[in-house]
Amino acid sequence: MRLATWNVNSIRSRLDRVLSWLDRGDIDVLAMQETKCRDDQFPTERFEEAGYEVAHIGLSQWNGVAIASRIGLDDVEIAFPGQPGFDKDAATSLLPAPVVEARAVGATCGGMRVWSLYIPNGRALHDPHYAYKLEWLAALRASTARWLAENPSAQIALCGDWNIAPTDDDVWSPEFFEGKTHVSEPEREAFRSILDTGFSDVVRPFAPGPGVYTYWDYTQLRFPRREGMKIDFILASPALAARVTDARIDRDERKGKGASDHAPVVVDTTE
């Protein structure tokens, strides 16, 4: 089975590129983030013509997550239990579910529970969105811990744009990012806390750093200068991690006209 995650940065802008890559890469399941469209705007028919079923949640031109699978798509779940919401106009930014953004969708694909996740950016350390990000990650940790407690042999993949660089090796310049989001200790601790529940980063052993990134800003010639960040991950439950045979970051997909600012991340598993 070949599983991938990719922040496509607008599926309508990059549809042909994504479908071509799915075919060339022989991808069974793709988790997508930042689809940037409503459900009625998502190009479902084009994916179906290519042999994929799709689950998508999109509420506006922002955020949006999807799963495309050619090996089955069952038990679709929009948002994970306890996922908090964000209201940019409220005096307080934290709202209880079900007032949630389009940042999480789960489905069972070929016996594997796949989650496509777009973790909040955080914006700045003193922005309400940063507090929201930490609350969001805490809620996700609670869900992951419960899933494994209920079924230690569960096959679960947490795929997506985490908007966290877990170590200094995951950014091109720790000095440049000092005092910014994505690298702060509370964010890194939140990421580690999910690993502490039993999940593991199954890509890093095959694509270790430093200098191995998944995201490069469009500005300042970041890509040709190799000034990137590793913020896209596939975290696997213990039972799924034991099946992983290979993984890679497809840096070539960041090249050329019309590329997303993120590269796809791919994991191969045994049947």
Whether residue 45 is annotated as binding a ligand: the answer is: no
Element counts in the chain: helices (H) and strands (E): 6, 14
Whether residue 261 is annotated as binding a ligand: the answer is: yes
Catalytic residue among 118, 130, 213, 215: 118
User: Is 215 tagged catalytic?
Assistant: no
User: Is 56 tagged catalytic?
Assistant: no
Residues 6+ apart with CB under 8 A from 136: 83, 84, 103, 119, 120
State the Cα–Cα distance between residues 66 and 107, nearest whole angstrom.
10
Residues 6+ apart with CB under 8 A from 76: 55, 105, 106, 107
Q: At what angle do helices 185-196 and 128-150 cross, to 10 degrees?
A: 10
Cβ atoms of residues 230 and 245 within 8 Å:
no
Whether residue 34 is annotated as binding a ligand: the answer is: yes
User: Is 118 tagged catalytic?
Assistant: yes
Catalytic residue among 56, 132, 161, 170: 161
Whether residue 161 is annotated as binding a ligand: the answer is: yes
Q: Which of 271, 161, 178, 259 is nearest to 213 (CA)?
A: 161
Whether residue 26 is annotated as binding a ligand: the answer is: no
Whether residue 56 is annotated as binding a ligand: the answer is: no
Q: Which residues are catalytic?
A: 118, 161, 262
Summarize the annotated binding site for Mg(2+) as residue ranges: 7, 34, 161, 163, 261-262
Summarize the annotated binding site as residue ranges: 7, 34, 161, 163, 261-262
